[in-house]
Structure 1
Amino acid sequence: ASAFLPFLPMLAIHLLVQNLMYDISQLSLPWDRMDKAFLRQPRKWDAQNIKRFMIWMGPTSSLFDMATFAVMWFVFAANSPAAQSLFQSGWFVEGLLSQTLVVHMLRTRKIPFIQSRAALPVLITTGIVMAVGIAIPFSPLGHMIGLVPLPLSYFPWLVGILFTYCVVVQGMKRLYIRKFGQWF
């Protein structure tokens, strides 16, 4: 993205904070529970399937990063070096929330939150990390790392992008299962 923007889309400190927060949210995964149907038979680790999965699912998140870029650029006029902090704040929040939410999407063959819900520790830690991620641009920490408060009008766009992302990931997951006959 930095090849097409007149500024860096995210600073190194933003990536470090975002990564730290995401890693904290993932500390709860050992306490998650698997779907009973998945546990009925032993599974062999299949590196080829992981490679195929990455090629299949990887570009999906990039499309939604581009959608976020377009919203920040065209809707919120964060399209100049003077407005880079607003752009970076919007992408920081969307990036953290999308990578945290997708864990719920990918942990099951089923429809997450409806047909299969993560264990309470996973729900709590991912929920807290997402709430803190939203709050950071409004906080002294956000100010210290160069983020700025997002306008309230950003949040309906964020919800729309994240909801659409979840729907698309669920659809891609269904297609993957239909094509390859397995989900991890």
Structure 2
Amino acid sequence: MSRAPPGAGRYPRGTGHRLAAAQATRAGDEQGPRPRGEHPAPLLPRLEWRSWGFGLLQRHLDVVRHGIEEGRRTFANTMKYVLTTTSANLGNMVSMAAASLLLPFLPLLPGQILLNNFLSDIPAVGLAGDSVDPELVDRPRRRDKRLIGRFRVAFGLLSSCFDILTFGVLRKWFHAGPELFRTGWFIESLLTELVVALVVRMRRPFYRSRPGRLLLVSTGAIIALTFAVPFLPHASALGFVRPPLCCWWR
């Protein structure tokens, strides 16, 4: 077994520390590298700060603090997207299965489902830069699978309740045929998912937790577009019809 050379273990190991020692030696520092435990303050002005594989672009620890805060904000916004998407997907699947058992026609056509998913994903992009309540970033958090599962089931089933209520109104009140039924459910399901996204993002009352500008603007634009879809040119190609309320306004 080979013996370690004299002085081994006295100095820090790692590429960053070896580079720092070499730079200090080339710069003419008489002290050279310091043993473990001694304060390296005399070396800091001449060296690029390096620690465990990442470098600091500025010579103060606020950089680390800002990085931690940004990481917590990113995690909080990621959880908003996960909760919104999983609950909406479960609710849509339950509603689609229930409608398939109760209706003699398809509740939504494939093109309408794709359009619904596409429009609902546009405001979700704004979640990446959404504002975060201070209590969500005051301490480190972990992904809670149980919380995700409970939320998915609770909000998914709640969304399905609104869908089934919409089914009853369209069939019993409006006596909706396949085209009108699909148009009405398309509007209701998309609006429900947009509202859920706004509810999930906050722990405070809505008047004390303002969403980010991109999320707010994109959600408002998609809500307006949702009501306008049946009136757009060539909307019939996707199976949409104008709701009967527009005829009452004429």
The TM-score normalised by the length of structure 1 is 0.77
Q: Which amino acid aligns with 1:90?
A: G
Over the matched positions of the two proteins, sequence identity in percent amounts to 38
The answer on 1:123 being equivalent to 2:221 is no
Aligned counterparts of 2:186 and 2:223: Cα–Cα separation in 1: 11
- Aligned residue for 1:14, secondary structure, equals helix
Aligned counterparts of 2:100 and 2:205: Cα–Cα separation in 1: 35
Specify which of 183, 199, 204 is matched with residue 110 of structure 1.
204
Which residue does 2:175 correspond to in 1?
A: 77
Aligned counterparts of 1:60 and 1:95: Cα–Cα separation in 2: 12
Larger radius of gyration, structure 1 or 2?
Answer: 2
- Aligned residue for 2:104, secondary structure, equals coil
Query: Larger relative contact order (C-alpha < 8 A, sep ≥ 6)?
Result: 1
Partners of 1:89 and 1:147 within 8 A in 2: yes
- Aligned residue for 1:26, secondary structure, equals helix
- Aligned residue for 1:27, secondary structure, equals helix
Specify which of 94, 106, 118 is matched with residue 188 of structure 2.
94
Structure 2, gaps ≥5 residues long:
1-98
Change (3 A) 1:148 1:39: same
Aligned counterparts of 1:43 and 1:153: Cα–Cα separation in 2: 49
The TM-score normalised by the length of structure 2 is 0.57
Number of equivalenced pairs: 149
Specify which of 32, 55, 65 is matched with residue 163 of structure 2.
65
Shift of 1:143: 1.5
Aligned counterparts of 1:49 and 1:94: Cα–Cα separation in 2: 26
Shift of 1:141: 3.9
Q: Which amino acid aligns with 1:147?
A: F
Aligned counterparts of 2:169 and 2:161: Cα–Cα separation in 1: 12
1:41-93 deviations in whole A, cap 9, x for unaligned?
11111112211221232210000000111111111111xxxx21001000000
Considering only aligned residues, what root-mean-square deviation do their CA atoms show, in Å?
1.5
Structure 1, gaps ≥5 residues long:
155-184
Superposed structure 1 runs of 4+ greater than 4 Å apart? none
The answer on 1:49 being equivalent to 2:147 is yes
